[in-house]
């Protein structure tokens, strides 16, 4: 089954404790992206990647890091989480410009930083 898999689904952590949210897709998609969703603000892009070793900042990159060492994986790293990073996070992937344009989203990760 074609899908984007995120882990964990729920995470409660303390301020300053490094964490990683994993994202993996099995569709051989080139493009991957991370979004955070907050009430009243919609979905805001954190980082995106156009291919292996090619990443760039989205609209709200502060406090986050990403890596794209393999085509299927695109982990989101919070080196020193803070309470304002409490949010619902979605990973998404899609084909390149020649393919379908719509993103396929993962199931989401609800992160709480206390």
Residues that bind other proteins (CB under 8 A): 31, 33, 35, 40-45, 48, 50, 56, 58-59, 90, 94, 97, 101-103, 105-108
Q: Which token pair is 20?
A: 């990683």
Shortest separation between residue 17's beta carbon and other proteins, angstroms: 26
Shortest separation between residue 112's beta carbon and other proteins, angstroms: 16
Question: In the complex with other proteins, which residue's Cβ is closer, 53 or 79?
Answer: 53
Contact at 8 Å (CB) between 77 and 64? yes
75: CB partners within 8 A, 6+ apart: 20, 21, 22, 23, 66, 67
Question: In the complex with other proteins, which residue's Cβ is closer, 32 or 78?
Answer: 32
Whole-angstrom distance, CA of residue 43 vs CA of residue 52:
24
């Amino acid at each position: 089954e074609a899908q984007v898999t995120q882990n964990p689904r729920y995470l409660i952590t303390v301020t300053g404790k490094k964490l990683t949210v994993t994202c993996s897709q099995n569709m051989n998609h080139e493009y991957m992206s991370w979004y955070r969703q907050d009430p009243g603000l919609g979905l805001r892009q954190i980082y995106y990647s156009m291919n292996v070793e090619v990443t760039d900042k989205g609209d709200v990159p502060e406090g986050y890091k990403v890596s794209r060492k393999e085509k299927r994986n695109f982990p989101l790293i919070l080196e020193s989480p803070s309470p304002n990073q409490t949010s619902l996070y979605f990973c998404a992937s899609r084909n390149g410009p020649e393919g379908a344009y719509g993103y396929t989203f993962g199931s989401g990760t609800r992160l709480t930083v206390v």
